[in-house]
Structure 1
Amino acid sequence: MTYKNLTHHFLIASPQMPDERFADTLVYITRHTPEGAWGFVVNEPLNAISVGGLLGEMGMPSSQQAMNTPALHGGPVRPEAGFVLHTGLPDFASSFAIGESVCLTTSKDILERISEDSLAHFLVCMGFCNWGKGQLDKEVAQGDWIACPADLEILFRAPFEERISLVYDKLGINPDFFVATTGYA
């Protein structure tokens, strides 16, 4: 099995994906090494939980933009923890660059910037997805995931409900032609 770095890529669960938690999800991979991978579901807004509401729970002021921005279900691991994907530089207390001017920040100082409306593009993800050593490579090789280079337009600007179809369009794939089972001739 060959390792291909999928950092700054989207993954769409294929119809044969055995883990039902990932049905109809678009995952953005933030770190992929031979030792494992991390990513976030970026197309599942949490019902009735806005970024502004989360800021309010922390005693922070929130802008109209934050009140109108939903928090996302980032994945099944640690759903109580918040992570911020954003554009710009990794200049916060706990940030690292992912690629194409996308960063991941886990420190509270970024929330002040969000509450001030001084961050152009951001996603607040509650929880994350992770894979152990070689796990993602194996899943991609067996056809559980379809990979596509990420872009900022889909990641930060596209409506959540259109993101998967935009990635399929980018790949030139019509998902209506997928067959979920294997047949024998």
Structure 2
Amino acid sequence: MTEKAESGDTKINLSNQFLMAMPGMVGGNLAGTVIYVCEHSEKGALGLVINRPTDLTLSSLLEKIDLKLEIAPEGDSPVYFGGPVQTDRGFVLHAPPGSYSSSIRLGELALTTSRDVLEDTVAGHGPQQMLVTLGYAGWGAGQLENELAQNAWLSVEADTRIIFGVPPEDRYPAALKLLGIDPVMLAGVAGHA
């Protein structure tokens, strides 16, 4: 998705897209990740890793903030590593968007950072689908565009069925298949002609 800048340049907008880390190009704790880009502007980008569950369960997280979840299946849901920035802060990607005190609407999804979404979940009337993360992936102005120019990421329009309906370990290959790419065909080194 692109938008025309005033100077006539074409500018990339990756909001509501998946970023898939290219093997050998993205290292550290973002290697092998699929990131849902929540916001992307000239100021930078913010996204959540959607395929890296932690050992922490939703019920354990809720207990730490003095909430108790009575709905057993949701309680066993993992909390995800959302990225290396602010790993002590929770982010909830959910559908339907709803109206919570600190929600950003992202088309058919919303990103909420306030406790009220979790309180609704505990009360049994929270979002029908949600992914809870600790931390997020962030880029400063121009940083993501530079990484894209270096072939560090592939991008494709996000599909919520992958976020909520595909097991975490299968989300990377599922996102690549949206581009018609078999993960086996990816090389660990980028070349330039």
Q: Smaller-chain TM-score range?
A: over 0.9
Moved over 6 A (4+): none
1:61 to 68, 78, 93: 68
Alignment pair present for 1:42 and 2:34:
no
In structure 2, do the counterparts of structure 1 residues 182 and 56 end up closer, same or farther at CA, with 3 Å as the change threshold? closer
1:39-97, CA deviations, whole angstroms, 9 ceiling, x for partnerless residues?
Answer: 010001101x1111111111112021331111000000111110100012341010010
Q: CA deviation at 1:33?
A: 0.3
Amino acid at match of 1:74: G
Q: Secondary structure at the match of 2:188?
A: coil
Q: Secondary structure at the match of 1:92?
A: coil
The residue that corresponds to 1:125 in the other structure is 133
Q: CA deviation at 1:178?
A: 2.1
Q: Secondary structure at the match of 2:119?
A: helix
CA distance in 1, matches of 2:147, 2:97: 32
CA distance in 2, matches of 1:184, 1:61: 54
1:86-125 matches, within 5 Å, as 86-99=94-107, 101-118=108-125, 119-125=127-133
The residue that corresponds to 2:4 in the other structure is none
2:189 to 175, 181, 185: 181
Considering only aligned residues, what root-mean-square deviation do their CA atoms show, in Å?
Answer: 1.8
Amino acid at match of 2:141: K
Amino acid at match of 1:83: F
Stretches of structure 2 lacking an aligned partner (at least 5 in a row): 1-8
Alignment pair present for 1:32 and 2:51:
no
1:72-91 matches, within 5 Å, as 72-91=80-99
Q: Secondary structure at the match of 1:3?
A: strand
Is the Cα–Cα contact under 8 Å of residues 2 and 137 in structure 1 kept in the other structure? no
With the length of structure 1 as denominator, give the TM-score of the two structures.
Answer: 0.92
CA distance in 1, matches of 2:192, 2:145: 26
Q: Secondary structure at the match of 2:138?
A: strand
With the length of structure 2 as denominator, give the TM-score of the two structures.
Answer: 0.89
Task: Return 86-95 or 34-43, whichever deviates more.
Answer: 86-95
Q: CA deviation at 1:182?
A: 5.2
1:15-45, CA deviations, whole angstroms, 9 ceiling, x for partnerless residues?
Answer: 2424322111110000000110000100011
CA distance in 1, matches of 2:191, 2:62: 51
CA distance in 1, matches of 2:42, 2:191: 33
CA distance in 2, matches of 1:90, 1:133: 30
